[in-house]
Structure formats: structure tokens, C-alpha cells
Chain A
Amino acid sequence: AIQMTQSPSSLSASVGDTVTITCRASQAIRKDLGWYQQKPGKAPKLLIYAASSLQSGVPSRFSGSGSGTDFTLTITSLQPEDIATYFCLQDFSFPLTFGPGTKVNI
């Protein structure tokens, strides 16, 4: 199975900051990666698919990049409502695997 790692595991930033979260796959996965946001007590929400495509309705301050093994989620101008845990998910091959998550605090 493809292993996904994320860094950092948590971070604290201020409103207006730019935040970068990294996800690394144990083998090349092309651009087959999505980013999900999860707020406490809620189901995950899709932010980014195919590594860099913004899902409809998601604010443009969210962006993704990368291919192969290294991927990045960037939140430009962090907002209070962005407090959440962010997960990457590889959909290159089964079993699908999530990263362990990055908790973003303000």
C-alpha cells in the first residue's frame, strides 16, 4: 500500500498568514491526490482534486501543487473559518490512503 505522510502535524498561524502543508507519497502517484478539510464534528470537505484543481465553491485562497511524490496545500491569507484539520488522500491505487492530517490553529 502507498503510505502518505504529512507535515507538519500541527501549526499555529495568524489571520492573514500564508500557510503551507506538505504531503509526501511513498511512491509516485502522478497527480492523483486530493486535499480535504475537516472541522470538528463534521464530515470532510473536498478542497482540491488532481493535486491542483480547486473544487467548485471552494475559496480561491486554497491552492494545491505537486506531482509524483511531493504535494503542497497552500492557504493564502488564512481566515478564522480555516481552523480545521487537513488531510491528503491518494487515489492513484487501491487501497486508497489518507495522510495523518495537519491541524491548523489560529
Chain B
Amino acid sequence: EVQLLESGGGLVQPGDSLQLSCAASGFTFTNYPMAWVRQASGMGLEWVSYITRGGDTYYADSVQGRFTISRDTSKNTLFLQMNRLRAEDTAIYYCTADVGFCSGPCYALFDYWGQGALVTVSS
């Protein structure tokens, strides 16, 4: 059974740092790019960051320079290091696996999702 289990969320003050983890099981973690998607309460989905199988990383403009995505293939774990947190970073953070599909061009398929980790940034 595929499982993505996020941890590390919590209440922090503006300017603080926090690291989210996402433990993967039930699939070959090294085979798939991974991503973080967040959702503020009552709001839509916002893509945050993406890491390829080879370790290339991409970020939303809103977190560029403050957040760092990484993966530890030996531990089947995805991370999101969040620095200089702001109130607007308050959200549920989901990790998701891109199982992908290529037929000529390649398409992203975010088919595996965690249950989400709540990050609250407030003084």
C-alpha cells in the first residue's frame, strides 16, 4: 500500500524556521519526482516546490529563496526546509509523488498524496 506520511508541522512565529518531512512507503521512492503543495484554510491549492529524480529543484515565486526541497533516498523521505516564515505561509502542506506519463511529451501525474501537515505562522 502506498503511503506518504508528513510530519514536522506546528505553530511557529514569523521569521522562524521549520522542516517538514514526508516518509514514503509502498512504492519505489527513487523512481519518482516529488512535490509539495499547500492549501490555506478555505482557499485553493498552491504548488510550492518540485524535485526531480536527479535532484533538480523548482519553486513557486512566493517561496523562492526561503524554502528548500530535498530528498534522502536512503530513508525514502522528502523534506521541505522552510526559513523566514511568514503569516501567509500558514497552510496545510501536502507531499505528493509525480508518477508521470510519457507519450512523446511527458505529463505530471500527482497520484500519491499524503494526509497533510498543518503549518501555522503566528505571533
Contact = CB atoms under 8 A, between A and B. Distances in A.
A34 B110 contact: yes
Interface of B: 35, 37, 44-47, 50, 58-61, 94, 96, 101, 103, 105, 107-111, 113-116
Given A44-B113, A95-B59, 9 more contacts: A1-B61, A34-B108, A38-B45, A43-B96, A44-B94, A49-B101, A96-B47, A96-B108, A99-B44
A1 B59 CA distance: 12
Contacts of A49: 101, 107-109
A24 B35 CA distance: 23
A70 B81 CA distance: 36
A46 interface: yes
Interface band, chain A: 20 to 34
Interface of A: 1, 30-32, 34, 36, 38, 43-46, 49-50, 53, 55, 85, 87, 89, 91, 94-101
A43 B113 contact: yes
**Binding site secondary structure of chain A:** loop
Contacts of A94: 50, 58
Nearest to B92: A43
Contacts of B108: 32, 34, 49, 89, 91, 96
Nearest to B46: A98
Given A49-B101, A95-B59, A96-B50, A101 B111 contact: no
Contact of A43 (B46, B105, B114): B114
17 contacts: A32-B108, A36-B45, A38-B45, A43-B113, A43-B114, A44-B96, A46-B109, A49-B109, A53-B101, A85-B44, A89-B108, A91-B108, A94-B50, A94-B58, A96-B47, A98-B47, A101-B45
